Amino acid sequence: MEFITYEAEGQIGIITINRPKALNALNSTVLEELDKALDAVDLQTVRCLILTGAGEKSFVAGADIGEMSTLTKAEGEAFGKKGNDVFRKLETFPIPVIAAVNGFALGGGCEISMSCDIRICSENAVFGQPEVGLGITPGFGGTQRLARIVGTGKAKEMIYGARNIKAEEAYRIGLVNNVYPLEELMPAAKKLAATIARNAPIAVRNCKRAINEGLQVDMDQAVVIEEKLFGNCFETYDQKEGMAAFLEKRKVEAFLNK
């Protein structure tokens, strides 16, 4: 692939968006390659993904403005769908995805980070949805996910005003879980991923689905989603091993994803 690298370190997969000449901006090729990279993740082995950007300045500086500049209405809508489809795939990816935001996360960059389960960032990170300054709306989920994460008032202030925020403010409003010096960001992301990967994988996947799917429906339906996913864990090897280890006062030998 030209713009995406993928490496697996044991149970942790790392996807890096690598298009340095445009601060890792998302053009159609990047989106297509990201889609393929997700398809290629070995879900038997990998239990948590990290998404980051190459370099020390930018996570993703948005959708590619050059590519968008000549689009017609219909092409604009299709480009929005292209981004939304990939980001939705990321959001519903069976295993947790951590965004390690290492610099600018603007427009599509902020939006892709919000499609991940958890965001952590470096001290130089900048988040924002600058689209209205370019004459467009956020188009890869920003009008939907930002309000869900930070609340409607704050999201509208950021989006209507095209106001970028620094890492500290992103932390304060709950857009990121933690802020680290740049050199500590990837070690922290890997540590968090390893913590997740140590737990029973079927249970972790079911938690992701229960939280994500439950948030889309009312509480009566949400608890039914939970009940089904809770029940689905029983009779698995990992449920038996996890509970046996507790009852026998020993450590879990291994969760085997079955």
The answer for residues whose C-beta is within 8 angstroms of residue 156's C-beta and 6 or more apart is: 147
Q: How many residues form the binding site for ligand CAA (CB under 6 A)? A: 22
Q: Which of 7, 32, 111, 213 is catalytic?
A: 111
Please indicate whether residue 131 is annotated as part of the active site: yes
Which of 86, 195, 49, 170 has the alpha carbon at shortest distance from 120? Answer: 170
Within 174-233, the residues that bind ligand CAA by CB under 6 A are none
Please indicate whether residue 184 is annotated as part of the active site: no
Taking the complex as a whole, the smallest distance from the CB of residue 182 to ligand CAA amounts, in Å, to 15
Which of 65, 67, 50 has the alpha carbon at shortest distance from 8? Answer: 50
Out of 131, 155, 180, 201, the only residue in the binding site for ligand CAA (CB under 6 A) is: 131
Q: How many helices (H) and strands (E) does the chain have?
A: 11, 10
Out of 104, 171, 180, 255, the only residue in the binding site for ligand CAA (CB under 6 A) is: 104
Q: Which of 131, 183, 184, 253 is catalytic?
A: 131
* Site membership for ligand CAA, residue 83 (CB under 6 A): yes
CA atoms lying within 13 Å on the CB side of residue 199: 14
* Site membership for ligand CAA, residue 53 (CB under 6 A): no
Contact criterion met (CB below 8 Å) for 122 and 179: yes
* Site membership for ligand CAA, residue 124 (CB under 6 A): no
Neighbours of 108 (CB within 10 A): 28
Out of 17, 30, 61, 100, the only residue in the binding site for ligand CAA (CB under 6 A) is: 61
Over its C-alpha atoms, the chain yields an Rg (Å, rounded) of: 19
Taking the complex as a whole, the smallest distance from the CB of residue 107 to ligand CAA amounts, in Å, to 2
Alpha-helical (H) ranges within 215-257 are 219-233, 237-247
Applying CB under 6 A, the residues found at the interface with ligand CAA are 22-23, 25, 61-66, 83, 104, 106-108, 111, 130-131, 134, 138-140, 142
Active site residues: 111, 131
